[in-house]
Structure 1
Amino acid sequence: MTRVVVIGELMTDTVARAHYPLAREGNTPSSVTTYGGGSGANIASWLAVEGGDIALIGRRGSDITGRTREMELMGYGVDARMVMDPERPTGTCVVMVTHKGDRTTLSDPAANAALQPEDLPRDLFTPDRHLHLSGHTLLNEGSRKAGRVALSHAREMGMSVSVDAASHAQLERIGAESFLEWTTGARLLFANSRQAEVLTGRDDDEAAAKVLTAWYPNVVIKTSDESALWTAKGRDETITVEAPPVETTPGSIGAGDAFVAGFLPPFLANYHPKEALTNAHRLAARALIQPGARPELT
């Protein structure tokens, strides 16, 4: 497997799943659980348990929570290059799940949003590595410069690069033009249907993917019907693979991060995109049938 450097978030996920309709200004019985999270850390963890040589660059608080989250990464086999922030705590994400399974996310990036260019270990930027940059790093103003410098380092060293579109809501606030400008030159973009629509103005997944190949040689979109498609610049062909049926665990999170981790190894090894999409669905399915966003260690 190609050696992969991931730049992204290290978070604590608190998942609150309501057992009944939310009682406004009252108490709603629920199940509340805490897990290690953060898109960058999740992707790195899934890649590592699949046998990859994986490094994660990020920033955490100097608190006990941050130390715990970093130790978890090391348990997966991730080379965690985390800088301790002396002022900001480790990031936290609250995932609220209704009794019907609908969810919303409240995210405080905290130390993640303060990643600086000097936090980037130059020894990890080598031609034999692939860089995956979490879109959150660019969408958060405080870490944006570090993300752009990382992309510059990767280009200078001849590394292949992938990025993900992270959040449709943040993309709307920042503007599609800015994100496309910052990430031009990446070999591969991951997006879901809503993110692709924000970036292109097209509500058809195949049409949006074709538009995005003007910026990225390869585009992968997770569609609204849970299938996924790949297309490439200069090709009329669009390959679509349906996700296998899965009995989802209530409150499961992180399937999108597992999908990215499943796609990258076969794609970087030049396997057919259909095989890469199939492997991406395989890992995403594992995430859907377990609690938390990281792989369960047995």
Structure 2
Amino acid sequence: MAHDGHEATLLGAIGDDAFGSLVRNHLAALQVTDLLVTMRGSTTGTCIVIVDASGERTMLPDPGANAGLTTRDLPGSAFRSGDHLHLSGYTLLHAETRAIGMDALRRARDAGMTTSLDPASAAPLAKEPNILDPAISLIDVLIANEAEAEVLTGFTDPYRALAALADRVPTVVVKLGRHGSIAHRTSADRTSPPGDRPDHVAPDAPGESASARAIDAEVVDTTGAGDAFAAGFLPAWAAGHPLHDCLNAAARSAARAVARVGAGPSAAPPGE
């Protein structure tokens, strides 16, 4: 998001180790404001990523210092009216950090911020499908992949899953990988052109529906593609752009991410 010229702040924790210093320096180089708490005696979280020949990845995460975060570690300066809070579902899936995740959502709402959630991962979510219910009542945008949407609704058809989630969240996006993405915004004051409406979303549902194709790109590594999608979608959404344009912005960002190794943005200027 910062790579594309938008202000971005990261809340979290690092350990008092060399990797923590590296993370802080890397964020500064990307012009991301860090509100990271340094946990003395802890190690910085890491994630081992295994990428296969097709570019698909398997992750083995260790939250490290993040597991020690408490509600006391949330600075009041992070919650400002007009800003947006995007929360990773991993924060809510882990018992150690669930309280701080919920507190962040409540404080964001109280401050007049908009909020969004990425369910994070279908596998751990499947063990407790209702674990995100309290958070879903506090968000404006839900960005889920097809598997996560199925776990949350029980529908294998992503269009039916989208319709079910749209009854609970004002704006819902379901990512379909190489098949693109679909979305519905119940609170919109305009609608996308009829050709962009997913056929399976109730045609009389109030608001705006849209779909977008994935952008062709050589898939080198899918690590970070979902985060890149959100980084493209949310600024466009917050600016009030039509939903179809938001999905296209997300697709462009995701296409850049999968075309290179690693989860971070490329060194190329935005748009290249």
Q: What is the TM-score when the length of structure 1 is the normalising length?
A: 0.80
Q: Is 1:265 matched up with 2:235?
A: yes
Calculate percent identity across the aligned residue pairs. 38
Q: Is the 8 A contact 2:57 2:223 kept in 1?
A: no
Alignment equivalent of 1:244, drawn from 210, 215, 236 = 215
- Cα distance in 2, alignment partners of residues 123 and 102 from structure 1: 38
Aligned residue in 2 for 1:201: 154
1:236 is displaced (CA, Å) by: 7.1
Give runs of aligned pairs for residues 4-19 of structure 1, distance below 5 A.
none
Q: Is the 8 A contact 2:219 2:259 kept in 1?
A: yes
Give runs of aligned pairs for residues 1-298 of structure 1, distance below 5 A.
47-99=1-53, 101-173=55-127, 175-233=128-186, 234-235=205-206, 238-249=209-220, 251-298=221-268
- Cα distance in 2, alignment partners of residues 69 and 224 from structure 1: 29
Count of residues in Structure 1 that have an aligned counterpart in Structure 2? 250
1:109 is displaced (CA, Å) by: 1.2
Aligned residue in 2 for 1:33: none
Q: What is the TM-score when the length of structure 2 is the normalising length?
A: 0.87
1:176 is displaced (CA, Å) by: 2.2
1:99 is displaced (CA, Å) by: 4.1
Q: Which amino acid aligns with 1:280?
A: A
- Cα distance in 1, alignment partners of residues 85 and 175 from structure 2: 21
Higher RCO structure, 1 or 2 (CA under 8 Å, sep 6+): 1
1:83 is displaced (CA, Å) by: 0.4
Q: Which amino acid aligns with 2:210?
A: I
Q: Is the 8 A contact 1:180 1:215 kept in 2?
A: no
Can you list the C-alpha shifts for 1:209-258, whole angstroms capped at 9, x where unaligned? 11112221000010154310111234375311011111122x45211110
- Cα distance in 2, alignment partners of residues 124 and 103 from structure 1: 32
Q: Equivalent residue of 2:231, what SS?
A: helix
- Cα distance in 1, alignment partners of residues 7 and 234 from structure 2: 13
Q: 1:102 to 1:275 in 2, by over 3 A?
A: closer
1:102 is displaced (CA, Å) by: 4.6
1:103 is displaced (CA, Å) by: 3.2
Q: Which amino acid aligns with 2:247?
A: L
Q: Is the 8 A contact 1:60 1:66 kept in 2?
A: yes
Q: Which amino acid aligns with 2:70?
A: Q
